[in-house]
Structure formats: structure tokens, C-alpha cells
Amino acid sequence: MGDDARLAALARERLEGALETHRLLLEQAGAIARVGAVVAGVLRSGGKVLFCGNGGSAADAQHLACELVGRFKMERAALPALSLSSDPSVVTALANDYGYAEVFARQVAAHGRKGDALVGLSTSGRSPNVVRALEAAGALGMVRIALVGKGGGPVAEAADHVLRAPSGETPRIQECHILSGHILCEIAESLLYGG
């Protein structure tokens, strides 16, 4: 098999895997809709949505905060959202002074208020700093939402609402997280602005 055929076969295999994972995610349509309504309720009540995650999940946290602050599908007022992964000066100072497990919890303490929401993203479900952030959010009376992989782990256990990507593979989990996150944003826009 030549390189072109081998690479095309690899691409096809990955695309088929992603399609199958998304088919399995369909079973969570109701849960995703309920969490979208929760996010809309937080925003309608004057709360804000904080996001956190590591690595690719940090990128997804930034992406989803951007969709709310900017716009997702409709022109509308800016919605209050913040990625706790976005400021390297804050993250590195907190890691240096308090340890990496506290980098998000300390920011939750600074920015979070009762009635806000925290969305913690973790493909493994075992990220100590995401667990600590969810615990800090719970202590403040915030709504705690977890986007995790198939197992869920301690991150899922620390949350009020859990969306589990139906896969154990990091790329498939991340693809489910961004799709689910986009749906949450669309539902929030629709409920708040009638789109």
C-alpha cells in the first residue's frame, strides 16, 4: 500500500471512529439540553460562567468562554464568561506560590460568586486542579458542571451536572466536549434571546 492509500485509510478510520462516538453522544441529547438550560438560567439571573481545563481542555475552555463573550450564532449582548486557563501570569504565579492543584480554585475564589457556574473540562476526569476548582465552586454555592470522558473520575464526582463523552480516547473526548459546548452556547442564546 502506497503512502497516499495508507494515509487515506488512516483518515477514514479516524473519521469513522469520530462518527461512531458522535452517534453514541446522541444518547445524551437530553442531558446536554438540560445543562444548556442551566447555563441559560445562570446567565439570565445575572451570573457568569467560568471555564477551566488543562492542555487541549484549556483551549476548549478559552474557546467556549469566547463564544459567550462574543457571539455564537446570533448578534446579541455580550454574556459574562471567563476562562481560568487564559492568563499565563496568573496561572504561573498561582502554581509557583500555591502549587498547580490550586491554580483554578484560587481564581474561583477571586471571580466566582453564588449563582455563577463553573464548567470544568477534563478528558481523564482525574485533573486535581479541576477537582479543586469544582470543590471551591461548591463552597461558594456555584453551579458545577463537568465535561469528562467515559469514566468521569473525581471530576465527575465533584460536579452537580456531568456530560460524559462516550469514549476513552482523548481526541474523541475533546471532539465531544467542543460539540457539546457549542450546543450549550446555542441553547443559552436561544433561551435568552429567542433565536
Q: Report the distance separating Cα 64 and Cα 173, nearest Å.
A: 16
C-alpha atoms less than 13 angstroms from C-alpha of 122 in its C-beta half-sphere: 26
At residue 192, the pLDDT reads 97
Q: Report the distance separating Cα 30 and Cα 27, nearest Å.
A: 8
What architecture does CATH give domain 3-193? 3-Layer(aba) Sandwich (3.40)
Look at the block and give the residue holding cell 452556547. 185
Q: What is the domain partition of the chain in residue ranges?
A: 3-193
What are 143's strand-pairing partners?
117
pLDDT tens column, 16-59: 999 999 999 999 999 999 999 999 999 999 999 999 999 999 99
pLDDT tens column, 104-155: 999 999 999 999 999 999 999 999 999 999 999 999 999 999 999 999 999 9
Q: Report the distance separating Cα 57 and Cα 147, nearest Å.
A: 9
Sign of the CA dihedral 187, 190, 193, 195?
positive
CA dihedral 190, 191, 194, 195 (to 10 degrees): 0
Helix (H, G, I), strand (E, B) or coil at 151: coil
**170-193 and 56-69 helices cross at what angle (nearest 10)?**
10
pLDDT tens column, 89-112: 999 999 999 999 999 999 999 999
Q: Which three cell numbers stand for residue 32?
A: 446536554
